[in-house]
A and B are shown apart, each in its own frame.
Chain A
Amino acid sequence: MTIPFYVAPEQLVRDKAEFARKGIARGRSLVAMDYADGVLMIAENPSTALRKISEMYDRIAFAGVGRYNEFETLRKAGIRQADLMGYLYSRDDVTAMGLATAFSQTLGMIFTRDPKPFEVEILITELSPDGGHRLFRISYDGTLYDERQFVAIGGKAERLTEALESLWRPDMTVQEAFAAGEEAFRQAEGRESEGWELAALDANLGRRAFRRIDPAELSTN
């Protein structure tokens, strides 16, 4: 019988965290920000088939970066959770807060229990009727952050946030918001984008506020 080597818990957590961070850093990043009509989400994504941003519920959107199969699993699980809650109770009882804590719990559990943590970072955004929209960021270990105005996830998140601090203004039009996002990516990455995936939660759309936007529609030139 072999006795497994003892590994200190601190060491184990550190190793897992480093592994997850490296995985996330390999992928491209994503930003979300408030604009005049709601929340705009901008992802650098050369693929037009594999999506990083998607509709979760009436006024709630989901975005993920990192390993596609892992955040796709989470996305589907989130939609199931939301639709179950809305069906059993009422559509008003599905909130970003509830979903974000569920994501946080799940990611936290996977991080401590599974040998390999999920290499993902998740964003849950929600339109709120009074304008101050909800932006929840959840990291690979389940840590939940409540952000305001704008947020970035992915390998370049820190640089993107720094760039957005000077670029973001309240009540931008969708074109202005996209231009600010583009510029933030240019500053953070030091190169041109390989393709955009855009989506918005638009307060003018009625019950289902989510819509995808064709970047060609918004390009300034």
Chain B
Amino acid sequence: MKGRPFGPLPIDAPVPGSSFTDLLESFGLTPKLSIPEGTAVPMVPEGTTVLATRYADGVVMAGDRRATEGHLVAHRRIRKVFPADRTSGIAIAGVAGLAIDMVRLFQVELEHYEKIEGVALSLEGKASFLARLVRNQLPLAFQGLAVVPLFAGYDQIARTGRVFSYDVVGGRYEETDFASTGSGSRLAKSYLRTAYEPDMTADQAAELAVRALVAASQEDTATGGPDLLRGILPNVVRIDASGFEEMDDDVILPIAQNAVETIR
């Protein structure tokens, strides 16, 4: 089955047959994730700070827009918060190239499962699957090319927003209130810890998220604050019972302006 050209349909599939990742593997189409020993790890763009926080009706996720390569800015407008499917989102930190590919695979995986089985995975199931994708990268993580995502979404069964954080070995941890990952995550988390309140509205949660990112950007050079000159604003999304929704720049701009003006 390896290296198949696109001809007749792939009728035979790996068991249990609902996973797109397994399908890719069976065709030998997954990238080889190892670097020969003794070679230097190349300098590659890395994504920095992302966070997720729960509020009354769901979760808000946010990310700054900077990718760094060593001490240099590699990209100013990179996107780190993505929809995973209609009711969940994924945010990434770490090696940008690998992370963005992980997101793409994760998105296809969730939709593939939903179409094959006729019903979407549970939020818990999606979180577990993402842990597997992170663990697949383990050999690379040991060589310094780590990807650590955040996953959050609206749980249709529990009827609440839920937030999951990960570590480089694929450990999955559910957080009660908020989570953050990336170089500025400690700073963002300490801001969130002091300012977080349960039962916020979506707008309050978005404001908290942007302020936490701005706080992180003050101490961590790898985290990009809002760039009002160029009009580069953090990506903020909210996920509630009605699904994933990207928050408009018009809504985020005043919040970002206010956060930048009042920060000390």
Q: Which residues of A contact B (CB under 8 A)?
A: 51, 54-56, 73-74, 76-81, 83-88, 98, 102-103, 105-106, 109, 208
Contact = CB atoms under 8 A, between A and B. Distances in A.
Nearest to A99: B9
B38 to A, nearest CB: 32
A76 B20 CA distance: 11
Contact of A83 (B6, B8, B17, B111): B111
A198 to B, nearest CB: 15
Interface of B: 6-11, 13, 17, 20, 23-24, 27, 29, 104-105, 108, 111-112, 115-116, 118
A56 B116 CA distance: 9
20 contacts: A73-B11, A77-B9, A77-B10, A79-B115, A81-B6, A81-B10, A83-B20, A83-B23, A84-B24, A84-B29, A86-B108, A87-B20, A87-B104, A88-B29, A102-B8, A102-B9, A105-B8, A106-B8, A109-B8, A208-B111
A54 B27 CA distance: 25
A106 B9 contact: yes
Nearest to A73: B11
Given A87-B20, A88-B29, 7 more contacts: A51-B118, A55-B115, A84-B27, A87-B108, A103-B9, A105-B9, A106-B9
Contact of B13 (A76, A87, A88, A103): A76
Contacts of A106: 8-9, 11
Given A76-B17, A83-B108, A105-B8, A56 B24 contact: no
A80 B128 CA distance: 22
Contact of A56 (B11, B27, B115): B115
Contacts of B24: 84, 87
B245 to A, nearest CB: 12
B115 A85 contact: no
Contacts of B108: 83, 86-87
Nearest to A80: B10
A86 B108 CA distance: 9
A86 B24 CA distance: 12
